[in-house]
Amino acid sequence: MAETTAETIERVGLVPVLRARSVRQAHAVVRAMLAGGVTIVEVTMTVPGAVDLLKELKREYGSDLLLGSGTVTTADEVAATIDAGAEFVVSPSFHPEVVAHTRALGKLSIPGALTPTEVIAAWRAGADYVKIFPCSAMGGASYLKALLAPFPFLKLIPTGGVTLQTAEGFFRNGARALGVGGDLVDLAAVDAGHPETITETAHAYLDLLAKVRSETHGNG
């Protein structure tokens, strides 16, 4: 039986945020991440021709790549990106109509929120996960832990300031997955002709997650 979108996100543990400046750059990043074992990418609406890029990636990689759309703030963007192949929809902020439309189209909703009030409002509106953004600005892993103390049932994806150095703390403090930007999606490496840097970083993240999981499950 095929994995659900949620199962894939939690198994891989990373949602790489692609803010490429061109289609060529985007393809190079995706190829390098896939080579490193990361099979998820979130294409933000800030990428030139984002909807067309989603269609191209869907055509090229099919079920080998789980596609999501990011920086989505309107119901029209939800419809366009899901039609183009997005299986999950991410926002930096909470828009009830975006959550509702994503769920109505049968896809996974990940709105952004920061304060306890915003987070619980997003969850009650039907979010599958809540993206805590910008998490590092609020203290990183310790903030995640503080949010989960009164709301242990929340499924949180911290984003903003996630690096190989901070990732372990986030996972140990309850993150279901991590939204990763420039630390993994290294556009400069691609421009310099070194996409293997991204592949190596992808491997490092997955190795780290495997280590944390084995230790956590070992203790439990």
Q: Which residues are catalytic?
A: 42, 131
Instruction: Let me know: does 104 contact 124? Beta carbons within 8 Å.
Output: no
Tokens 């070194």 correspond to what residue? Answer: 194
Phi first, then psi, for residue 77 (nearest 5°) are -65, -35
Instruction: Let me know: does 144 contact 132? Beta carbons within 8 Å.
Output: yes
Instruction: Let me know: does 203 contact 196? Beta carbons within 8 Å.
Output: no
Strand partners, 14: 178
The alpha-helical segments, DSSP class H, found in 92-153 are: 96-104, 116-124, 141-148
Tokens 């899901």 correspond to what residue? Answer: 82
Percent of the chain that is helix, strand, coil (3-state, to 5): 50, 15, 35
